[in-house]
Chain A
Amino acid sequence: MGNKISITINGQKVDVKHGTSILDAATQAGVIIPTLCYHKDLCIAGNCRVCVVELAGQKRLATACATPCESGMEVMTNTLKVRNSRKHIIELLLTEHNADCTSCYKNGNCELQTLASEYKIMNQDFIHLVPFKNYTVDKFSPSIIKDDSKCIRCQRCVRTCAELQSVNALTMAFKGEHAKVTTFFEKTMSEVVCTNCGQCINHCPTGALVEKNYIEEVWSAISDKTKYVVVQTAPAVRVGLGEELGFDPGMRVTGKMVSALKKLGFDAVMDTDFTADLTIIEEGTELLTRLKKVLVDKDSTVKLPMATSCSPGWIKFIEHMYPEYLDNLSTCKSPQQMFGALVKTYYAKSRNLDPESIVSVSIMPCTAKKFEANRPEMHDSGYRDVDYVLTTRELAIMIKQAGIDFLKLDDMHYDRIMGESTGAGVIFGATGGVMEAALRTAYELVTGREVPFENLNITPVRGVEGIKEASIKIEKPLKEWAFLDGVELKCAVAHGLANAKIVMDEIKAGKTNYHFIEFMACPGGCLGGGGQPIPTSPEIRAKRAAAIYAEDEGMPLRKSHQNPEVIKIYADFLGKPLGEKSHHLLHTKYTPRKRF
């Protein structure tokens, strides 16, 4: 079926592969067709009908997204009939939509607004339906706000939650005029099986699903003279933020971001990459300890494979879906929470600050981090470890509000301490990154030699494939790790919860023999996180990933255990990995949850 066929679009001949949709053929020919329910990450729905086109000889219009090209097809995308129909459809959507744009969080980044503007819907006189509907706004989740009055029933969120995440927190219910996107028994997002991953937000064309923002709270803290406001930035933020502020996808804006944060008035600008490196030391040691307990001590209470615990969306997922596997999770907190616990202890002590006066803010590519920071167990410093979590998008809003011309900013460096990082910390932002960073350190710890990959790049765990596998054979280990001689360390990487589910089901069925698995809730890892700039697509995520790996390669240090600040924190404060202080501040426990 790989043969080519010819069609015409607006009279222009286009050769396409058999099975190509009219929409893709049009894109190939440089013809733009508007869409709403279509998204590159998702299956075709064909339900908004905005992409209708005319086919010669047919009275009815066809949707460009859902109709495959057929040889000799004559497509017209800009006839009076097409324009009038599209206009009608946009008008209809607007009557059902709370189009109070000026008070909408998505004002300026709304696909429906853009279409309404392009089609100049000026003298719309269809009846406004919103007042007749009992729309509700669900603000109960610490991460996600769901406003039904803005929903256009494109079902992008429903498909996201089902296809990418296998969570199905959001589904369609009722029919006809009552059809709506809702949850199990119409409960609030905070009560149902929602992982707070925010992928629904990333895929929503309107303001129906947005993050709960804490912008005003952070502004208040910054302007409060009695508060010392520190900020940490996650690895993936530096390769996404630029998209919100005028750069093309794939631009690294680390230095500009640090300058901007200082201009915003944060008292210290620090790097989550530092605790990413710290995570590797703790988690790597934990893995090796588990291996020893299983292989040497034959301790049956210790579980393998060990699963990573950096992604809070994944954590909530496993708590709901596979609570019997919580012992397989690494007990390490995520880098954000390690950072939070250290800021109000180690950092406060070194800077001679009252931890009470510290407001700890984190900038994350993630909405689940808001939920994570809100967990009752995350108070190990004696205070709430992380006070406010902002997404990449919220940071961009603050930068705009502050009148900062981001493009013209000079690069600046993170503050010391807790601002130093290695390339291994940076790649946490991409799928496979935690695995790669862990292997770089663990292999060297065990053998005294660098990982046997050219330039430290462990390419088998990189890339867009949903589930990746790699194995490293340990040969000639150092004396204390002699029990690992000849052991083939089997690793897997899964990103997107749908893929996580596949791996977990295989584990459940006893089909795997992995030792270590990296799970990330979002497609592409954190760089494709639910708090990253909108839009997202496989191409955009690939560019962000390339930027992350370029950042890694450009770093003088690329292995977590080389981080001088990490070495120092163990010497001055923590003692040793998995030591008592680490255990108290850097490790956590998990909560089994029900599926409904």
Chain B
Amino acid sequence: MSTNYLLKRVDFIFKNENDWEDVLKKSINRPPQELINELISSELKGRGGAGFPTGLKWKVASEEKSDVKYVICNADEGEPGTFKDREILSRVPFKVLTAIAICGHVIGAKKGYIYLRGEYYFLQPELNKAISEFEYFCKEINFEFSIKIFMGSGAYICGEETALFESMEGKRGEPRNKPPYPSSFGYMGKPTVINNVETLAHTYTIFRYGSKRFYDLGVQYSRGSKLFSVSGDTPKPGIYELELGMSLADFVEEFGDDDTKAVQVGGASGFLVPRKKFAETNIGFQGKLVGISLPTGGSMMLFNSSRSMFNVLDNYLNFFAEESCGQCTPCRVGCQQLLMGIKAVKRGDKNAQYLDKLLKLAETMQITSKCGLGQSVANSFSSIVENFREEMIY
């Protein structure tokens, strides 16, 4: 059953080589196409959770014709159970700044922004210091590039890339209709590359060591390493860089407390995996031939037998009902219906079959919502209700 990739710890992201000046100088002297090819052959996929091939994203933006383009680092780390980007920005900020600038060189952008989660205001002073130093160096080597921090205001939805643009433009943080996509019509309507903090940090590794070092890690379709934010019922919560493709059974073996009942992979918008499916579940992007592959932004929440899965779901749904931007019907009303629905079943106001109706509704939300938020509510809802149906009823 299990493909049994042993947990392999990696140390790239937080390794502080202190050579960002060299990496920047070296990279901006390489032709953009070469850098794009390097990224494409590394098979790096977006680490925010959606897993879009990073090289392709840069390539499309580089081909857009526009005098003004932007690079945006998405540091609106809001997924419950995720706390890796905060660490990257505080421990290795120059890697991220360098990667933003290299992306600017590749696509032809002169400005970069870091959209920083509102609650991370305490990172701002140090980060600004780093930016000043970074910009000073850019000037020294005659490389025109500037980076600014844009503070978010606390809405989860603003981590969605187009809602993030709206927020930066001073509007309500509501996701846009897609197409057009950011690479052609992003911030201020200009071609924009928007990458997660961790994704940018990985591009640094790739430009520093070459794509092969990265590609050699992980498994087919899920190359490289990834930071995992481990929390919940575990004796060793924290941030760990691991190779992709590991089996969840191995993960639990390492991080569980010998009583792990389920693991929520990917935060509130991810999937709950019950114990009986640990062995067949792998952590990585879809496309593996054996077992189930679960992509993730890195949030791994472990629950032991003391936890009520009804309470867990209730908590997630409260979060979604509150954090939906409220513009589209399936997400705004759907979240409220799911939340009130499971409570009604628990109270006995609705019978157990009502859960099936809610599962169908979640499916509709998945295929009709405007953005990833509404589309992914069904992930946790369906996986929890299907696997822990009794806990929802009794």
Interface of B with A (CB < 8 Å)?
155, 157, 172-174, 177, 179, 320-330, 332-337, 340-341, 344, 350, 354, 357, 360-361, 364, 366-370, 375
Top 4 A-B pairs ranked by shortest CB distance? A179-B326, A92-B333, A66-B177, A88-B364
Binding stretch for chain B, among A125-133, A345-353, A543-551, A563-571:
A125-133
Chain B residue numbers with a CB within 8 Å of A127 are 337, 340-341, 344
Give the distance to chain A from B178, nearest Cβ to Cβ, in Å.
Answer: 9
Residue of B325, B330, B335 near A88 (CB, 8 A) is B330
Chain A interface SS verdict (over half)? loop
- Quick one: given A175-B155, A176-B321, are A155 and B327 in contact (CB under 8 Å)? yes
The digit string for A236-262, where 1 denotes a CB below 8 A from any CB of B, is: 000000000000000000000000000
The digit string for A365-377, where 1 denotes a CB below 8 A from any CB of B, is: 0000000000000
Question: What is the bound-complex CA distance between A570 and B344, given in angstroms?
Answer: 75
- Quick one: given A44-B177, A85-B364, A88-B361, are A49 and B369 in contact (CB under 8 Å)? yes
Question: What is the bound-complex CA distance between A47 and B334, given in angstroms?
Answer: 13
Give the distance to chain A from B314, nearest Cβ to Cβ, in Å.
Answer: 14
Determine if A129 and B340 form an interchain contact, defined as CB atoms under 8 angstroms apart.
yes
Give the distance to chain A from B352, nearest Cβ to Cβ, in Å.
Answer: 14
Give the distance to chain A from B162, nearest Cβ to Cβ, in Å.
Answer: 12
Interface of A with B (CB < 8 Å)?
44-50, 52, 59-61, 63, 66-68, 81, 84-85, 88-89, 92-93, 95-96, 125-127, 129, 132, 152-153, 155, 172, 174-179
Question: What is the bound-complex CA distance between A450 and B365, given in angstroms?
Answer: 66
- Quick one: given A85-B367, A129-B333, are A176 and B327 in contact (CB under 8 Å)? no
Chain B residue numbers with a CB within 8 Å of A46 are 177, 328, 370
User: B173, B322, B336: which has the most chain A beta carbons within 10 Å?
Assistant: B336
Chain B residue numbers with a CB within 8 Å of A81 are 367
7 further interface pairs, Cβ-Cβ under 8 Å (given A88-B360, A176-B322): A47-B370, A49-B370, A59-B367, A68-B179, A88-B361, A92-B329, A129-B336
Give the distance to chain B from A391, nearest Cβ to Cβ, in Å.
Answer: 30
Chain A residue numbers with a CB within 8 Å of B174 are 172
For A52, give the chain B residue with the smallest CB separation.
B368
Determine if A176 and B332 form an interchain contact, defined as CB atoms under 8 angstroms apart.
yes
Give the distance to chain A from B330, nearest Cβ to Cβ, in Å.
Answer: 6
Chain A residue numbers with a CB within 8 Å of B366 are 60
Give the distance to chain B from A125, nearest Cβ to Cβ, in Å.
Answer: 7
6 sampled A-B residue pairs with Cβ under 8 A: A84-B364, A85-B368, A88-B361, A125-B354, A172-B327, A175-B325
Question: What is the bound-complex CA distance between A89 and B330, given in angstroms?
Answer: 6
- Quick one: given A85-B368, A125-B357, A127-B341, are A176 and B325 in contact (CB under 8 Å)? yes
Give the distance to chain A from B9, nearest Cβ to Cβ, in Å.
Answer: 36
Chain B residue numbers with a CB within 8 Å of A178 are 322, 326
Determine if B327 and A177 form an interchain contact, defined as CB atoms under 8 angstroms apart.
no
Residue of B155, B335, B341, B344 near A177 (CB, 8 A) is B335
Give the distance to chain B from A356, nearest Cβ to Cβ, in Å.
Answer: 53
Chain B residue numbers with a CB within 8 Å of A177 are 321-322, 324, 326, 332, 335-336
For A96, give the chain B residue with the smallest CB separation.
B333
- Quick one: given A49-B328, A60-B375, A85-B367, are A175 and B323 in contact (CB under 8 Å)? yes
Question: What is the bound-complex CA distance between A172 and B325, given in angstroms?
Answer: 10
- Quick one: given A176-B324, A177-B324, are A126 and B335 in contact (CB under 8 Å)? no
Question: What is the bound-complex CA distance between A175 and B329, given in angstroms?
Answer: 13
Chain A residue numbers with a CB within 8 Å of B324 are 175-177, 179
Determine if A172 and B172 form an interchain contact, defined as CB atoms under 8 angstroms apart.
yes
Determine if A89 and B325 form an interchain contact, defined as CB atoms under 8 angstroms apart.
no
- Quick one: given A176-B324, A177-B324, A177-B326, are A63 and B334 in contact (CB under 8 Å)? no
Give the distance to chain B from A80, nearest Cβ to Cβ, in Å.
Answer: 12
Residue of A45, A85, A179 near B332 (CB, 8 A) is A179
Question: What is the bound-complex CA distance between A59 and B323, given in angstroms?
Answer: 25
Chain B residue numbers with a CB within 8 Å of A92 are 329-330, 333-334, 337, 361
